[in-house]
Structure 1
Amino acid sequence: MSAKQSRILIFGAGVIGSAYAIKFIEAGIDVTLFARSNRFTALKENGLQYNEKGAVKSIKVNVIDTLEDDDIYDFIFVTVRYDQSESALLALKDNHSQNIVTMTNNSMGFSAWLELVGDRLLPALPGAGGQIKEGILYARFPPKILIATMFGEISGVVTERAEKLAQLFKTAKLPCKIHNDMKSYLITHSVSDIALLSVLHVGNKIIDEQTLTTRKTAHRITFTLKAYLRAIQKAGVAIHPSVFKFVLLSPNLILDFFFMLWLRSKMVKDMLLPDYANSANKEVVQLNNDLLKFLSQKDITP
């Protein structure tokens, strides 16, 4: 079966799911998008609306809000936040599709996910970001040199289905890479997200922009990132990508300066919008709690 003949379901109509849906649809791939409530209604009535170079466009998408057990797809992409991942996989538990691609963070390994969907699981991490504002997707696909969609078997073996998935991304002109240690890759990425995104909240409130851009806030990122990277290394987790190894070797002053620049970027200012900041906080809290559980099982404290 060619990539274009593949039938795929994207379970989750947020930023990631919507961004990938557009790319797959434009490539002529059979795509169904699973959405709920207001998002489902908006997609049915208006199509998938997105911003392209300042212009709002719309693309027709097949959208469902219920999934039958015998509604079978070649690949199901789970594109929800980490704190929603188990409930999403529970909803897919009895569906007979054989390949479930979890495109989300993971800070403690795959045991809980495997209990729900077994060896159908194929972990991944998306190479896209962005926001949805007033129902319109503002997607960001960074250059291939910076980030690509990463995926791979838990065993590290390059299987036929992994190669088929790579062909699917190639057809959609989406950079991708098959990785042989997705557990380490996802835990390392989770550490990065915990360090970077936890500063968006102070207590139960979204941080104000003036406080966000101080060196003190930047140093919180530096301190957390280094502490957690050292901790996962002690736990036997290989640091991927290897660029994070340079973080451990870099002086705090240089890292603080780098993160101060990042905190003053437009991308971070957009992250302070309540919808994004509050959703990110829920995910980061769950990632952090599960990472600490993972480390405590190995008697390691960051």
Structure 2
Amino acid sequence: MKILIYGAGVVGCAYGWQLSKAGCDVTVLVRKGQKEFVQKNGIQIICSDFRGKARKDVDVIFKPTVIDELSSNNDFEYIIVSTNKLQLSTILPTLSKSTGKANVVFFQNNWDVFTEIDKYLNPEQYFFAFPFMVGGGKEDKNIHCAISGLKYSNTPLGEKDGRITPRVEKLFVALDKADLKPVISNQILVWLITHYAVAAGLSAGIMSAGSASQFIKTHLL
């Protein structure tokens, strides 16, 4: 399976690394000017993996195939879009011209762009997922991430209309081999909107309280 990770951030690199370990042919799309550096040095990923019985800390150099431009005659089966949701307005015109026959998987915290996506792509060209298994940040050029071992952490994915299609099932198998706990949802849009509402409310509460610890003391204890 050939997969393009569109966006070399924490989520894209962590999922791409794990899918590569599971046997997928992974390519990462990077910004202009970064291709030679990443090809030469790879992507350093410093990861705390909590999926096993004990935490496992790993420091690896992930060396995927690297491109800085997407061509419409590409041979990718899936394009996983893992950029910030706010970047979609600049990404969608490119995807409309260059997706080719690939299935686009929007791998973001989406809640209000569903109509906007339909202006550029047909429903047959895309579906949704959410990277609930990975979190972290960047320091210099290094990826610092954690892979969740919590019971209810998973990677939900599904079609906009709720159908369980072969393309969703095939990506499910790849994610399952990578131990990223995929779950097929027949209400993925409801899941995404609800997740955003809960996260936004929680974030607002923490900001209002001044800190996470103060929020816990004030509202949860």
Q: Deviations over 1:84-126 (max 9, x none)?
A: 1232222111121331000001222511112211121101111
- TM-superposed deviation, 1:139: 1.5
Whether 1:90 and 2:88 are equivalent positions in the alignment is: no
TM-score by length of 1: 0.63
Question: Per the alignment, in what secondary structure is the counterpart of residue 93 of structure 1?
Answer: helix
Relative to structure 1, is the Cα distance of residues 181 and 42 closer, same or farther in structure 2, using a 3 angstrom cutoff?
same
Whether 1:102 and 2:106 are equivalent positions in the alignment is: yes
Residues in 1 aligned to 2:213 and 2:129: alpha-carbon distance in whole angstroms: 34
Alignment correspondent of 1:47: 42
Q: Gaps spanning 5+ residues in structure 2: where?
A: 48-55
Relative to structure 1, is the Cα distance of residues 186 and 177 closer, same or farther in structure 2, using a 3 angstrom cutoff?
same
1:49-198 pair list within 5 angstroms = 49-52=44-47, 56-95=59-98, 96-108=100-112, 110-119=114-123, 120-127=125-132, 128-143=134-149, 145-198=151-204
Q: Gaps spanning 5+ residues in structure 1: where?
A: 1-5, 203-209, 220-252, 259-302
Matching residue's letter, 1:212: S
Q: Say whether the 8 Å CA contact 1:109–1:183 is kept in structure 2.
A: no
Question: Per the alignment, in what secondary structure is the counterpart of residue 66 of structure 1?
Answer: coil
Whether 1:212 and 2:211 are equivalent positions in the alignment is: yes
Alignment correspondent of 1:17: 12
Q: Which structure carries more relative contact order (alpha carbon 8 Å, separation 6+)?
A: 2
Alignment correspondent of 1:8: 3
Relative to structure 1, is the Cα distance of residues 200 and 65 closer, same or farther in structure 2, using a 3 angstrom cutoff?
farther
Residues in 2 aligned to 1:14 and 1:38: alpha-carbon distance in whole angstroms: 16
- TM-superposed deviation, 1:154: 0.8
Percentage of matched positions with identical amino acids = 27
Relative to structure 1, is the Cα distance of residues 55 and 147 closer, same or farther in structure 2, using a 3 angstrom cutoff?
closer
Structure (1 or 2) with the greater helix fraction = 1
Question: Per the alignment, in what secondary structure is the counterpart of residue 158 of structure 1?
Answer: coil
- Which entry has the higher C-alpha Rg, 1 or 2? 1
- TM-superposed deviation, 1:157: 1.1
Task: Figure out how many residues of one structure are paired with residues of the other and give that number.
Answer: 210
Question: Per the alignment, in what secondary structure is the counterpart of residue 122 of structure 2?
Answer: helix
* Superposition RMSD in Å: 2.4
